[in-house]
Amino acid sequence: MKICLFDIDGTLVNTAGAGKDAMIDSFQSTAGIDVQTTGVRVSGKTDRGIATELFGDAGKQLTEDVWEKFLSSYMAGLARNLPLRQGRVLPGIVELLDQLAEREDIALGLLTGNVAQGAYLKLTHYDLMHHFAFGGYGDLHPDRNDVAQAAKDACESHLGQAVAGDQIWVIGDTANDVRCARHIGAKALAVATGVFDRDVLAQSEPDLLMDDLADAAEFLDALAQ
């Protein structure tokens, strides 16, 4: 059994800013934090981590109560934005997921910084959610390494068996995806379909580095090893 844990943004889909803009609006409306002027890098980070960082920068405390308010505003904005943006599923993803889903020796899960509801909204919008029965999400953990562990735990619960790190491939578009793969002893495929190009991703030393998954043969070969 092999397990593929997919990142969402920049790996499966590009929402054309639907998520980031909803998040920026919610920082403003629920906490008065103006992210437009300070800027924020969201790639490879978890939603909880981004919120913790921005609240800290603004000298505010992210209590559970404030987090809940922020989240409900963010999810409403995300649901509103998704159909209004010209987002897209990234090259080859539909074909790859269809192909992997047919195989009984492969399990598909998510390893994303998105909160679970955000992941659900995005992947339902792009008609990919049905492929993923389990995952690790960015609700609780500021650090992606902890999300990777949560995804591995969720995978073991789903399969009803222990899984070794080297049975797992983490597929993502940032150095943080590669780093969190190492944390659970997994292999890493980095794809240059997000904001980082090949040269930047190469520095994180993934097991495999691809421009995109339009032709996934190289990955399928590596998966079979």
Scanning residues 134 to 193, which ones bind Mg ion (CB under 5 A)?
Answer: 173
- Residue closest to Mg ion (Cβ): 10
> With binding defined as CB under 5 A, does residue 9 bind Mg ion?
yes
Please identify which residue in 10, 49, 77, 92 interacts with Mg ion, judged by CB under 5 A. Answer: 10
The identity of residue 80, as a single letter, is R
Stretch that binds Mg ion, among 6-14, 59-67, 129-137, 199-207 (CB under 5 A): 6-14
Strand, helix or coil for residue 32: coil
Query: Which of 144, 152 has the CB closer to Mg ion?
Result: 144
Query: Which of 12, 100 has the CB closer to Mg ion?
Result: 12
The Cα–Cα gap between 72 and 142 comes to 18
What is the number of other CB atoms lying within 10 angstroms of the CB of residue 205? 13
Q: Residue 57 CB, nearest distance to Mg ion (Å)?
A: 22
Give the residue from 45, 48, 42, 49 showing the smallest Cα distance to 21. Answer: 42
The Cα–Cα gap between 167 and 175 comes to 20
Q: Residue 43 CB, nearest distance to Mg ion (Å)?
A: 6
What burial letters (b/e) apply to 33-62, b meaning 16+ CB within 10 Å? bebeeeebebbbbbbbbbbbebbeebeeeb
Residue 14's DSSP bridge partners are 88
Residue 172's DSSP bridge partners are 190
> With binding defined as CB under 5 A, does residue 7 bind Mg ion?
yes
Stretch that binds Mg ion, among 3-11, 98-106, 120-128, 181-189 (CB under 5 A): 3-11
# chain residues binding Mg ion, by CB under 5 A: 4
Residue 168's DSSP bridge partners are 3
Stretch that binds Mg ion, among 5-13, 57-65, 141-149, 201-209 (CB under 5 A): 5-13
Site string for Mg ion, 194-213 (x = CB under 5 A): --------------------
Stretch that binds Mg ion, among 10-18, 20-28, 197-205, 211-219 (CB under 5 A): 10-18
Scanning residues 102 to 131, which ones bind Mg ion (CB under 5 A)?
Answer: none
The token pair at 209 is 């580095």
Give the residue from 1, 8, 40 showing the smallest Cα distance to 122. Answer: 8
Residues found near Mg ion in the complex (CB under 5 A): 7, 9-10, 173
